[in-house]
Structure formats: structure tokens, C-alpha cells
Amino acid sequence: MARITAGVASSHVPLLGVASDQGKDEDSYFRPIFAGYDWTRAWEAAEKPDVVILVYNDHASAFDMKIIPTFAIGCGEQYKPADEGWGPRQVPDVEGHPDLAWHIAQSLILDEFDMTIINEMDVDHGLTVPLSMMFGKPDTWPCKVIPLAVNVVTYPPPSGNRCWALGEAIRKAVESFPEDLNVQVWGTGGMSHQLQGPRAGLINQEWDNRFLDGLIGSSDALRRIPHLEYLRETGSEGIEMVMWLVMRGAMGTNTRMLHRHYHVPCSNTAIGHLVLRPDNGEGLDMTGSEPAAIAAE
Amino acid sequence: MTGPTNIHEYLAAFDDIPGTRVFTAKRARQGYQLNQFAMSLMKAENRARFKADERAYLVDWNLTDEQREALLARDYNRLLDLGGNVYFLAKVFSTDGQSFAQAVSTMTGMSFEDYTAMMVGGGRSPEGQRSIKANGAAGADPLESN
């Protein structure tokens, strides 16, 4: 049976793609950002996930104003990096997992989530930057990827509660797939940032860290944060954090933290990154740092 | 439930956030042609045509005079007011060879150097930036004076 073995949360700042592609990741500005992903790159190399369900938002690349799906799932064979205005990133094409993706799509629709099914699209920095942060610069990405796009651009985006429930339904779908697959769910975007208007540059470190705290353990308080609070407290683009709640919902009742990283600034934003284990007494392989070792970091 | 279910209350609350234009349906409709124009710049040949003669390129799009002039002036706050969305407008500033941070700084009334220094110093504090009403009650409204 397929099983969800870990959840990863990460910002997906486009500048990090530029830094990675141009070899600037060791520069003094970028080193503290990339250093927070060193642990994860080594861990991912050991974990060898078969499939990543990558929750992200399209930034007016695959979807323009003609079509605005609230939740869309990529069921295609392959996705190319999008040209976002400065030419496509020179990173590998993304290989899909159509069998699992279609299975999840069908299961979600039966669970009353009205998914949009995408067979052909390009994927932008929202999806490719997290792959670079977690896997570095391989010739091919080391796993299959199922893109799951959430509208967080045109209001209203889905509520945090709905995103959490979608994650719960994804977990159910994955666990009913007969093939033995190691599946991770990644929630990307965030943390606090505002890219527009006179209030641009807003950063709320205290709020961000409370949000990170809330993803660890068994509390489900984060699912009840209203959109207005994200807007007021974390800036207009902080709403992307609802996508982390899809990942969290997919982890089940309890989670254990393996790795945590937070840094300000990265371009206009705060960088947040978290690696979680579902910790529901299911006998999953619990490799990775122990809590005591993390506390000593 | 996680917030207001009354759409009027939900939308009205967005008007109380200082220095912020939430991309509501009203703005999405107002800026449809503007944002689709920006989207066209995802193709290299369109970027080349636009760079060669901006005004001529814009004739193909059903923009208002205000939207056209704000685009030519790269007045991003004005473009947000006229229905533009930053992820679409990003195609304009990437065509110009500007980074997100450079373009975003132009909306703040700060120089790029001052904006960058603010970010390196931890960003813009949320203190006094949460609510126009609360700021009014406290007798201060720093962003709305912009």
C-alpha cells in the first residue's frame, strides 16, 4: 500500500531559483537561507521518496485570468518549467505519476472535493524552487511529482479549514492505492510577505513562528485562522500559508518535527521551512533526527 | 467555520488593511485586460515586440487610458488600483529586467536602498500596520498618507 511518510513545508521564493541556477547559493546573502536546507537535502537523499504530492500555487503562469481553479491536480506524464518572463529555468522537466494522481483525483471527488484535473501545463517557480531547495541540482529530479495547485491569488481562496480537510482526504486516497509507494506531501509558499502596495515588505516573525509551532504536535488550531488574520498579520501574500495546511491535514492527528528553519529576509519575504513525520503510532520508519538532537542544534 | 460566511462582511473587512489592495473579484474584473496583457509577456517574441514599441503593442489590448498611461509610467500602485495583480504585473517588471524586490520597492515610497535596508533589518513591522480603523482611533495612519 502507498503510505505518507513525511510532510515538508517551505517557502518558494523565485530569487532562490535564480541563486541556485546562477551558483550564488554560497554568497553571504544566500548562505544562511540555503544552509537551512542542508539537513533536508541529506535527509531526502536517504529517504528516497517515490512520489511527492507538491501543493503550490501557480503565479499567473499555467493559469491566467481565463480559468481560476480553486484546487487543481496534475494527472499528466510530464511538466516543463514555465517561462515567467525571463525564460524558463534550466532545471529538469518534472515527471508526473498519472496512476496515483488519477487515483487521488477520483478519490477526492468521491469525497466531495470538486477537483480540476490538469493533463497539460507548465510549472512555475512555486513548484520548481522547492524541488531545487530539497534536491539540489540533479540531472533529473529523483522522484515523481504530483502537482496540486491551490488558488491563493484571486479572492476568496479556500479556507484553511478546507485545505486541512483536503489534506485528510489526500491521506485517505494515498492509503487506498495498492502499489507500495513512499509518498511525501509538501506544502509550499509563505511565510509572512507582502509584494504589493505601500505596506510591501511586511514581516511578522512572531506570528510566523507561532504558525510553525502550531504545525507540530496534535493541535488543529491553525485550521481556524480566518483569511483576514493572514492579511493583517502576515501581509497580502502570507495567505499562501493555507497551502501548508493541506500538508498538515495529510499528516493525520499527530506530527513530530524533524527539522525547522526560519530566516529573514529572502528578497521580500521570510523563509520558513519545516520537516514533519506523521506520528500516529502506525509503525512508520522513524528515521531522522530525534527531538533531543534537534533541540541541541 | 473559519470566518465570515456573509460575502459582504468578508469583502468589507479588506478595506480596513493599510496600504493593501486585496485582489477581489471587483479588481479581477476591472483589470482583466490589463492582467491578460501582462500575461502575453510570457512569450519571448511578445517581450521583444513590447520592448520595440510599447505604445504600439498596447493598441492590441482593450485597456483604459488610465491603465495604458500607468503601464507606460510603470506606476505599480496605480496599476493595482486599476485592477492589476502583482503576479501578472511581474511579467512587466521581469521584461524590464527588474527583480521582484526592485519593483516592489517602487510601491513603498522608499528608495531601493532604503527598502533593502529595511528588509535586512527584519522587514516592515506589523505594529501600526494592521488596521486603518485602529490607527485612526490612535491618531496615526502612516501608510494611508501615501
Closest in B2, B25, B107 to A197, CB measured: B107
Determine if the peptide bond prior to A257 is cis (ω within 30°). no
B134 is written with which cell numbers?
Answer: 485602529
Kindly tell me if the per-residue pLDDT of A82 is higher than 50. yes
Answer for the pair B14, A226: CB distance below 8 angstroms, yes or no. no
Kindly tell me if the per-residue pLDDT of A84 is higher than 70. yes
Q: Which of B1, B20, B89, B102 to mutate to test the interface with A (most CBs of A within 10 A)?
A: B20
- pLDDT for residue A281: 79
- pLDDT for residue A284: 59
Q: What is the mean pLDDT of residues A263-280?
A: 94
Q: What is the mean pLDDT of residues A183-200?
A: 97
Q: Return d(Cα B39, Cα B42) in angstroms, integer.
A: 6
When the pLDDT of each residue in chain A is averaged and rounded to a whole number, the result is 94
Residue A65, chain B, CB below 8 Å: the answer is yes
* Interface contact B39-A65, CB threshold 8 A: yes
Q: How far lies B48's CA from each of A38, A62, A81, A286, in Å?
A: 39, 21, 21, 53
Closest Cα of chain B to A257: distance in Å? 25
- pLDDT for residue A188: 98
Q: What is the mean pLDDT of residues A166-194?
A: 97
Q: Closest Cα partner for A65 from B84, B70, B57?
A: B84
- pLDDT for residue A162: 98
Q: What is the mean pLDDT of residues A98-108?
A: 98
Distance of CA A34 to the CA centre of its chain: 17
Beta strands A144-150 and A71-74: pairing type?
A: antiparallel
- Residue A297 — very low, low, confident or very high, per pLDDT cuts 50/70/90? very low
- pLDDT for residue A292: 40
Q: What is the mean pLDDT of residues B119-139?
A: 92
Kindly tell me if the per-residue pLDDT of A293 is higher than 60. no
- Residue A244 — very low, low, confident or very high, per pLDDT cuts 50/70/90? very high
- pLDDT for residue A167: 98
- Residue A282 — very low, low, confident or very high, per pLDDT cuts 50/70/90? low
Beta strands A3-10 and A182-188: pairing type?
A: parallel
Nearest-by-CA chain B residue for A154: B23
Tens of pLDDT, residue by residue over B61-103, are 999 999 999 999 999 999 999 999 999 999 999 999 998 899 9
- Residue A170 — very low, low, confident or very high, per pLDDT cuts 50/70/90? very high
Q: What is the mean pLDDT of residues B7-31?
A: 96
Give chain B positions within 8 Å (CB) of A63: none
Half-sphere exposure of A47 (CA within 13 A, CB side): 32
pTM for the complete prediction?
0.94
Catalytic residues of A: 125, 193
Give chain A positions within 8 Å (CB) of B10: 156, 227
Contacts of residue A266, Cβ cutoff 8 Å, sequence gap at least 6: A11, A13, A15, A16, A33
Answer for the pair B104, A196: CB distance below 8 angstroms, yes or no. yes
- pLDDT for residue A73: 98
Contacts of residue A101, Cβ cutoff 8 Å, sequence gap at least 6: A73, A74, A75, A76, A146
Q: Name the residue with higher pLDDT: A12 or A281.
A: A12
B71 is written with which cell numbers?
Answer: 503601464
- pLDDT for residue A246: 98
Q: Name the residue with higher pLDDT: A284 or B28.
A: B28
Q: Chain A, 191-220: which have a CB under 8 Å from a chain B CB?
A: 192, 194-205, 207
